[in-house]
Amino acid sequence: MTRKTKAIILLSVLFIIITVAGGIYTLGVQGADLRERDDKLVKLRESYSSVETLNLQLKDVEKRVASVDSLLFSGKFTIPQNLSQSRFFDFIDAYSGDNALYTFTNTE
């Protein structure tokens, strides 16, 4: 057997080992995670595939935005000048807590 043939056989065996190890890792170790993500993707597609459903959710969110805007612009909740930071963030969290899915407050 020539040196070239030995090298080709060795590289072929190495390639097969790497391919088998990658397949085992992908299907065995990550298989449960992949199935979980596929299930989540199917649920998301079912939930948000209908344009009518999205339009209904949009109308509901627009009503909430209008109510929050009316509170902010009514002047009832003006922030005092000498308010501590912790009390200010408590104030913000208290009024954004009702719409926690639709709001995000970065307090840093």
Mean pLDDT of the region 67-96 = 71
pLDDT value at 81 more than 80? no
Q: Which residue has the higher pLDDT, 104 or 53?
A: 53
pLDDT for position 78:
62
Separation of alpha carbons 16 and 103, rounded Å: 51
How confident is the model at residue 46, as a pLDDT? 80
Residue 94 and residue 104: Cα distance in Å, rounded? Answer: 12
* pTM of the full structure: 0.37
Closest CA to 64 of 104, 105, 98: 98
Alpha-helical (H) ranges within 1-108 are: 3-24, 31-48, 51-74, 85-96
* pLDDT at residue 39, rounded to an integer: 92
Convert the pLDDT of each residue in 6-53 to its tens digit.
999 999 999 999 999 999 998 888 888 888 999 999 988 887 777 788
